[in-house]
Structure 1
Amino acid sequence: MKTILHKITAITMACVVIFTTMSFTVDMHYCGDILVDVALFKDAKDCGMGMAMAQSSSDMKEMSCCHNEQIVIKGQDELKHSLQKISLEQQQFLVAFYDSYIHLFEISAPQAIPFDGYPPPDIVSDLTILHEQFLI
């Protein structure tokens, strides 16, 4: 069970690293308000209106109904963070957290009982009845 959990954790952490460092772009081409093409990692294909506008007069070029939108999602470039950027309070917190976390899983040795080999004394008479002292 422990090895399976370890493997699942390792795969999850590898996926987290891959997805946080990966960057990609989504390019969309609109003709008017209608989405014509969507492309991932490359430019979207034109609907052909650009060629027709290029052949027509200059007044029509200014009134083009086509436009491109590009969504860029940047990944993380720097994976190794420097400890010099961490403030003193954050360093103290990390040290205290690490110390308390490590001590959670320590197995303490059972304490030795010094009188384990001796039997308890025999009860000769009940002292509370003998002295007539009762809790009220």
Structure 2
Amino acid sequence: MKQVSHKIMSFVMAIVVLFSTMSFTVSMHYCGETLVETAMFHKAEGCGMEMQKPATKDCSITKKDCCNDEQIVVDGQDELQLQVDTISFEQQLFIASFVYTYINLFEGLENNVSSYEEYRSPLIDKELFKLDETYLI
């Protein structure tokens, strides 16, 4: 269960990083006040009613074109690299000790180690329990 939740969280984090760094453009073409076409990632094609340039230089058209194009640009985040060289020595020491203790925190002992295995029992000169005992007759 723990591995499945780690995989799900890593997948979600990868999707968040992908969408936070992705940039795209939405292009819209209006003919008058009506939205004719919307395109993403490329320029919207016109409706065919755009004004053409005159064929001669002497002729000038003063009529305004009824079509216009709009673009909405969504910029993604550009700076994702962390600056590691600004960590002080005390912070590096804390991180190293935290990682070391966290790794060893959940480590179990494979066999029970007893510290009394090398201990020798003292030699008995007298049986002390026989000296202090009282017997009821």
TM-score (ref. length: structure 2): 0.56
Task: Say which SS state the counterpart of residue 12 (structure 2) adopts.
Answer: helix
Residue 17 of structure 1: aligned partner: 17
Residue 41 of structure 1: aligned partner: 41
Task: Say which SS state the counterpart of residue 52 (structure 2) adopts.
Answer: helix
- CA distance, structure 1, for counterparts of residue 41 and residue 27 of structure 2: 8
Residue 120 of structure 1: aligned partner: none
- CA distance, structure 1, for counterparts of residue 70 and residue 53 of structure 2: 24
Superposed displacement of residue 20, structure 1: 1.0
**Pair 1:59-2:57 in alignment:** no
- Number of positions where the alignment pairs a residue of Structure 1 with one of Structure 2: 96
The CA RMSD measured in Å over matched residues stands at: 3.3
Question: Hey, which bits of structure 1, 4+ residues long, moved more than 3 A?
Answer: 83-86
Superposed displacement of residue 72, structure 1: 0.4
- CA distance, structure 2, for counterparts of residue 64 and residue 49 of structure 1: 9
- CA distance, structure 1, for counterparts of residue 38 and residue 32 of structure 2: 15
Question: Per-residue displacement from partner, 1:42-95 (whole Å, max 9, x unpaired)?
Answer: 000101111xx21676112xx112111100011122210225679x9xxx8xx7
Question: Per-residue displacement from partner, 1:76-118 (whole Å, max 9, x unpaired)?
Answer: 22210225679x9xxx8xx7xxx6xx88xx57xxxxxxxxxxx
Matches within 5 A, 1:1-136: 1-50=1-50, 53-54=51-52, 58-60=61-63, 63-83=64-84
Structure 1: 5+ residue runs without aligned partners?
108-136
Superposed displacement of residue 5, structure 1: 0.3
Tell me which structure has the larger Cα radius of gyration: 2
Q: Aligned pair in 2 of structure 1 residues 59, 79: CA closer, same or farther (>3 Å)? A: same
- CA distance, structure 2, for counterparts of residue 47 and residue 85 of structure 1: 56
In terms of fraction of residues, the more helix-rich structure is: 1
Q: Aligned pair in 2 of structure 1 residues 22, 85: CA closer, same or farther (>3 Å)? A: farther
Structure 2: 5+ residue runs without aligned partners?
55-59, 107-137
TM-score (ref. length: structure 1): 0.57
- CA distance, structure 2, for counterparts of residue 65 and residue 84 of structure 1: 57
What's the % identity of the aligned pairs?
49
